[in-house]
Every structure is written in structure tokens, then in C-alpha cells.
Chains A and B, each alone.
Chain A
Amino acid sequence: DIVMTQSPDSLPVSLGERATISCKSSQSVLYSSNNKNYLAWYQQKPGQPPKLLIYWASTRESGVPDRFSGSGSGTDFTLTISSLQADDVAVYYCQQYFGTPYTFGQGTKLEIK
């Protein structure tokens, strides 16, 4: 199984500041035949289902604000929020969809400092 490890577990950030979340996979999720990373990022607010933010590691889902960006390849990935807004307080998960069992990181709780 591919193990996804996020850091940090909790991230206090001031409004307007940059937030960076790391995700590492235990093996590469880069598929060589199409050069795509099978890595997604989700945002989950209390009492709500997860919301897709980023797929292919760096492609923003339609409607997602451009302050959210994803980067990385192979086994190391990053979600960056360029300027934190109050509405961004949530738990963020990375997920690999390279193969089953699909696995998620343990989550990073983003809060206002």
C-alpha cells in the first residue's frame, strides 16, 4: 500500500499570510506513460464532505480560488495557499489515486493564528 504522510498535523497561520502543507508518498505516484502524478488535494470543513481542490498534483479544480496551488512530483508534494482567508480554515488531505487501495494523508488542520 502507498502510505501518504502529511506535515504538519496542525498549522496556525495569520490572515493574509502563506500556508504550506507537505505530503509525501511512500512510493512514486508518477505514471511514466503519461507523466502525470496521481495526487489530489481535498479541503474538508466541519460537518461537510471533502471538496476537491487540486488534481494531477497541480491542476486546480474549476471554481477553486487561484490562491490555492499544488506542486511537486514523484513522492513529494505541496499545497500552498498564497494568502490565507478566514474561509480557508479546514482540514486538508492529500490522496493518491495511482492505485488501490486509494490512500489519504492523515490530514492537516489549518487554523488562524
Chain B
Amino acid sequence: QVQLVESGGGVVQPGRSLRLSCAASGISFSNYAMYWVRQAPGKGLEWVALISYDGSNKKYADSVKGRFTISRDNYDNTLSLQMSSLRVEDTAVYYCATATAVAWDYWGQGTLVAVSS
């Protein structure tokens, strides 16, 4: 079955960097766009970034543009999010997700990023 497993979260000081990963299995990873979505504690869902199936197209939310970089490795079936210049307001559970048909039908369990001094 399809599995998306995030890793790399943790506690980090403001201004520092962190790299998240999402390992995909059970799908033809290279066929699908991938997404990062985050959820601050007790808050709603916020789309963060997308990358096209081949990595040629990337888009970001304004809140992370210039600080976060999304990438993928279609040989390793891995999605990444490089986060730099982290802010307290970046504290959230980060989910990777994909749309194998229409909307986002598969999600990982999420990884918690806490930005705190």
C-alpha cells in the first residue's frame, strides 16, 4: 500500500536550518507531483510548497518563499524540504502529500518542527 513517511523534524533555534525528508513507497513516485503542507499547533492547514513530477516546476507559499527549498530524488523515491532562516512561526507539523488522482489522496503522518530559543 502507499506509504509516505516524513523524518527530520526536531527542535531548532530561530535563524537555523533543518532538512525534512519524505520517503515514498507503494506508488510510482516519479509520476506524481508532491506537496508539503504544515499545521501549527491547534491551527488549520497551510500549503507550503509543491514540486512537479519531474522536479522542473516548484512553487512556494509567500510565507516561506526564499527560505525553503523543495526537491525530490526520483531514484530514491524521496521528497525533501530544506528550511533555512527558521522563525518561531514556522513551528508546525509538516506533512508530505501527493495527488495520485485528483486531490491530495495520500498523506504522511507528519513530522514536528519546533523553532524555539
Choose from B44, B97, B102 the contact partner of A56 (Cβ within 8 Å): B102
Instruction: Say yes or no: A49 contacts B108, CB within 8 Å.
Output: yes
Q: Contact between B107 and A49 (Cβ–Cβ < 8 Å)?
A: yes
Number of B interface residues at 8 Å Cβ cutoff, please give it: 21
Give the size range of A's interface with the partner.
20 to 34
Task: Find chain B residues with CB under 8 A from A44 CB.
Answer: 45
In the complex, the chain B residue whose C-beta lies closest to that of A104 is B45
Look across to chain B and name the residue whose beta carbon is closest to the beta carbon of A103: B47
Q: In this assembly, does A101 line the interface, its C-beta being within 8 Å of a C-beta of chain B?
A: yes
B46, B102, B108 pick with most chain A CB within 10 angstroms? B102
Of B44, B59, B109, which contacts A49 at CB under 8 A? B109
Smallest beta-carbon distance A109→chain B, Å: 11
Instruction: Kindly state whether residue A80 has any CB partner on chain B within 8 Å.
Output: no
Residue-by-residue, is B103-115 near A (CB-CB < 8 Å gives 1, otherwise 0)?
Answer: 1110111100000
Q: B102 to A101, Cβ gap below 8 A?
A: no
A40:B62 contact, CB within 8 angstroms: no
Contacts of A107 in B (CB 8 A): 44-45
* B95 nearest CB neighbor, chain A only: A49
**Chain B residues positioned under 8 Å from A103 (CB to CB):** 47
Closest Cβ–Cβ distance, residue A105 to chain B (whole Å): 8
- Secondary structure type dominating chain B contacts: loop
Q: A-facing mask of B73-115, CB < 8 A → 1, else 0?
A: 0000000000000000000000101010111110111100000
Q: A95–B37 Cα gap in the complex (Å)?
A: 12
A104 touches B46 (CB 8 A): yes
Q: Give the contacting residue for B45; candidates A51, A52, A56, A93; CB below 8 A.
A: A93
Contact A101 B47, beta carbon cutoff 8 Å: yes
CB < 8 Å: which of A52, A55, A100 contacts B50? A100
Interface flag for A61 (CB, 8 Å): yes
List, sorted by A's number, 24 A–B pairs whose CB atoms are closer than 8 Å: A40-B102, A40-B103, A42-B45, A48-B109, A49-B97, A49-B107, A49-B110, A50-B107, A52-B103, A52-B104, A55-B101, A61-B103, A93-B44, A95-B45, A95-B103, A97-B99, A97-B103, A97-B104, A101-B47, A101-B61, A102-B50, A104-B45, A105-B44, A106-B44
